Chains A and B, each alone.
Chain A
Amino acid sequence: MVRNRISEREIETQGVDVRRTLAYRSLALPFVLVALLCGGCSVIDGPVLDPKGPIALAERNLLFKAIAIMMIVIIPVFLMAAFFTRHFRGTNRKARYTPNFDFYWPAEIVVWSIPAAIVIWLGVHLWANTYKLDPYTEIDPSVKPLQVQAIAQDWKWLFVYPEHDIAVVNELAMPVGTPVSITITSDTVMNSLVIPALGGQIYAMAGMQTRLNLLADETGTFWGRNVQYSGTGFANQQFQTHAQSKEDFDAWLEKAKQSGKALDAATYESLAKPSEKVPVTYYSGVEPNLFDSIIAKYAHNDAMLTPSKKKPEPAE
Chain B
Amino acid sequence: MDLFGRLTIESLPFYSAIAASGAAVTVLGALAVVGAITYFGAWRMVLTEWVSSVDHKKIGIMYIMLALVMLVRGFVDAAMMRSQQAIAYNSEGYLPPGHFDQIFSSHGTIMIFFMAMPFLAGLANLIVPQQIGSRDVAFPFMNSISLWLTTAGAGLMLLSLVVGKFSTAGWTAYPPYSGVQFTPGVGVDYWLWMVFIAGFGSTMTGINFLVTIIKCRAPGMTMFRLPLFTWTIFVTSLLMIFAFPALTVACATLILDRNFDFHFFTNAMGGNMMNYINLFWLWGHPEVYILILPAFGVFSEVVAVFSQKRLFGYVSLVCATVAIGLLSFTVWLHHFFTMGSSARVNSFFGTMTTIISVPTGVKVFDWLLTMYRGRIIFKPPMLFTIGFLVTFVIGGLSGVLLALPPIDYMMHNTTFLVAHFHNMIIPGVLFGYLAGYMFWFPKAFGFKLNERWGTYAFWCWIIGFYVAFMPLYVLGLLGMPRRMEHYEIAAWQPHLIVAWVGAFIILLGMACLAVQLIVSIRERNEALDLTGDPWNGRSLEWATSSPAAPYNFAVLPQVEGRDAWWDMKARGVAYQRPDKYEDIIMPKNTYVGAVIGGAGFVFGFAMIWWMWWLAALALLVIFVAVVIRASDDDSDYVMPASEVKKIEDARFAELAKAPRNEMADDPGYAGDPVPEAT
Interface size on B, residues (CB 8 A): 121
Q: Write out, one digit per residue, whether chain B residues 386-409 have a CB within 8 A of any chain A CB (1) or not (0).
A: 110111011001001101111111
**Quick check: B373 and A234 within 8 Å, CB to CB?**
no
Quick one: which of B170, B176, B272 contacts A229, CB cutoff 8 A?
B170
State whether the Cβ of A288 lies closer than 8 Å to any Cβ in chain B.
no
A159 at the interface (CB under 8 A from B): no
Does chain A have a CB within 8 A of B351?
Answer: yes
- With a cutoff of 8 Å between Cβ atoms, the chain A residues found around residue B372 in the complex are 80, 84, 88, 101
A266 within 8 Å of B by Cβ?
no
Within 8 A of A (CB), among B174-189: 174, 176-177, 181-182, 184-185
Interface bin, chain A: 35 or more
Within 8 A of B (CB), among A7-52: 9-10, 13, 22, 25-27, 29-30, 32-33, 36-37, 40, 42-43, 46-49
Contact B101 A232 (CB under 8 A): yes
- Verify if A217 is at the interface (C-beta below 8 Å from B): no
Interface-centre pick from A25, A60, A134 (highest chain B CB count, 10 A) = A134
Residues of chain B contacted by A188 (CB below 8 angstroms): 182
Q: Is the CB of A229 within 8 A of B101?
A: yes
Alpha-carbon separation in the docked complex, A127 to B404 (Å): 9
Q: Does B374 contact A (CB under 8 A)?
A: yes
Q: Of B307, B378, B477, B489, which is in contact with the most chain A CB atoms at under 10 Å from its CB? A: B477
**Alpha-carbon separation in the docked complex, A96 to B670 (Å):** 11
Q: Are A63 and B401 neighbours in the complex by a CB distance under 8 Å? A: yes
**A36 and B414 contacting across the interface, CB-CB below 8 Å:** no
The answer, among B270, B414, B677, for a CB contact under 8 Å with A302, is B270
Among B370, B406, B410, B413, the most chain A Cβ lie within 10 Å of the Cβ of B406
Say how far A59's CB is from chain B's closest CB, in angstroms: 5
Question: Which of B47-55, B155-163, B338-346, B624-632 makes up part of the contact surface?
Answer: B338-346
Task: Pick from B383, B404, B495: contact of A40, CB below 8 A.
Answer: B495
CA distance A307 to B467 in the complex (A): 51
The chain A residue with its CB closest to the CB of B473 is A33
Q: A102-B310, A102-B311, A190-B177 are in contact. Are A22 and B404 (CB under 8 A)?
A: no
In the bound complex, CA of A176 to CA of B612 (Å)? 61
Tell me if A265 is interfacial: C-beta within 8 Å of chain B: no
| Interface members, chain B 266-280 (any A CB < 8 Å) | 266-270, 272-274
Verify if B665 is at the interface (C-beta below 8 Å from A): yes
A95-137 interface with B by 8 A CB criterion: 95-104, 107-108, 110-112, 114-116, 119, 122-123, 125-127, 129-137
Which of A164-172, A202-210, A241-249, A252-260 contacts the other chain?
A: A202-210
Residue of A nearest to B397 (CB): A70
A89 close to B (CB within 8 Å): yes
- The reply to whether A46 and B479 form a contact with Cβ atoms under 8 Å apart is yes
On chain B, the residues within 8 Å of A231 by CB distance are 101, 168, 177, 182
- In the complex, A126→B403 CA distance in Å? 9
Q: Nearest B residue to A197 by beta-carbon distance?
A: B479
In the complex, are the beta carbons of A112 and B316 less than 8 A apart? yes
CA distance A97 to B668 in the complex (A): 12
* Complex alpha-carbon distance, A300 and B313, angstroms: 54
Query: Is B219 positioned at the interface, with any CB of A under 8 Å from its CB?
Result: no
Q: Which segment, of B29-37, B234-242, B354-362, B577-585, faces chain A?
A: B354-362
- Whether B152 is near chain A, meaning CB under 8 Å from some CB there, is no
Q: Which residues of B contact A290 (CB under 8 A)?
A: none
Q: Is B73 an interface residue (CB 8 A)?
A: no
Stretch of B38-46, B480-488, B550-558 that contacts chain A: B480-488
Q: Are A46 and B358 in contact (CB under 8 A)?
A: no
A196: CB under 8 A from chain B?
yes
* Binary A-proximity of B449-475 (CB < 8 A = 1, otherwise 0): 000000000010011001100110110
The answer on a CB contact under 8 Å between B498 and A36 is: yes
Cβ of B368 under 8 Å from chain A: yes
Partner of A80, one of B350, B358, B368, B478: B368
Judge if A314 is at the interface, Cβ distance under 8 Å: yes
A262 within 8 A of B: no
Among B267, B316, B486, B487, the one with the most A-chain Cβ atoms within 10 Å of its Cβ is B267
Contacting residues, chain A, for B96 (C-beta < 8 A): 316
Of B270, B397, B406, B486, which contacts A305 at CB under 8 A?
A: B270
Chain B residues lying within 8 Å of A67, measured Cβ to Cβ, are: 397, 401
State in angstroms the CA–CA spacing of A63 and B411 once bound together. 10
Question: Are the CB atoms of B312 and A6 closer together than 8 Å?
Answer: no
The chain A residue with its CB closest to the CB of B668 is: A90
A48 and B478 contact, Cβ closer than 8 Å, known pairs A136-B340, A231-B177, A231-B182: yes
Interface pair A88/B376, CB less than 8 Å apart: yes
Contact B268 A298 (CB under 8 A): yes
> Could you tell me the distance between the alpha carbons of A98 and B168 in the complex, rounded to whole angstroms?
55
Contacts known (A33-B470, A225-B481); A88 close to B177, Cβ less than 8 A: no
Contact A119 B478 (CB under 8 A): no
Which of A112, A189, A203, A306 contacts B340, CB < 8 Å?
A: A203
Contact in complex: B347, A126 (CB < 8 Å): yes
**Chain A, range 57-92, C-beta contacts under 8 Å to B:** 58-60, 62-63, 66-67, 70, 73-74, 77-78, 80-81, 84-85, 88-91
CA distance A190 to B172 in the complex (A): 13
Cβ-closest chain B residue relative to A90: B668
Minimal beta-carbon separation of A111 from chain B (angstroms):
4
A81–B383 CB distance below 8 A: no
Among B313, B368, B405, B414, point to the contact of A102 (Cβ < 8 A): B313
Closest-CB distance, B426 to chain A (whole angstroms): 13
Whether the pair A201, B409 counts as a contact (CB closer than 8 A) is yes
**Contact string, A226-239, partner B, CB cutoff 8 A, digits 1/0?**
01111111110010
Q: In the complex, what residues of A have CB within 8 A of residue B411's CB?
A: 48
Task: Please determine whether A196 and B479 come into contact, CB atoms closer than 8 angstroms.
Answer: yes
A-B CB proximity, top 7 nearest: A90-B668, A200-B409, A115-B361, A316-B98, A210-B340, A196-B479, A42-B491
24 contacts across the A-B interface (CB closer than 8 A): A29-B391, A29-B463, A29-B466, A32-B467, A36-B474, A73-B393, A78-B390, A80-B368, A88-B372, A89-B375, A90-B667, A97-B375, A102-B313, A107-B313, A111-B361, A111-B369, A112-B316, A119-B354, A133-B406, A189-B182, A200-B412, A205-B274, A210-B340, A223-B479
Q: Which residues of A contact B (CB under 8 A)?
A: 1-2, 6, 9-10, 13, 22, 25-27, 29-30, 32-33, 36-37, 40, 42-43, 46-49, 56, 58-60, 62-63, 66-67, 70, 73-74, 77-78, 80-81, 84-85, 88-91, 95-104, 107-108, 110-112, 114-116, 119, 122-123, 125-127, 129-137, 188-190, 192, 194, 196, 199-203, 205-208, 210-211, 223, 225, 227-235, 238, 297-298, 300, 302, 305-308, 310-311, 313-314, 316
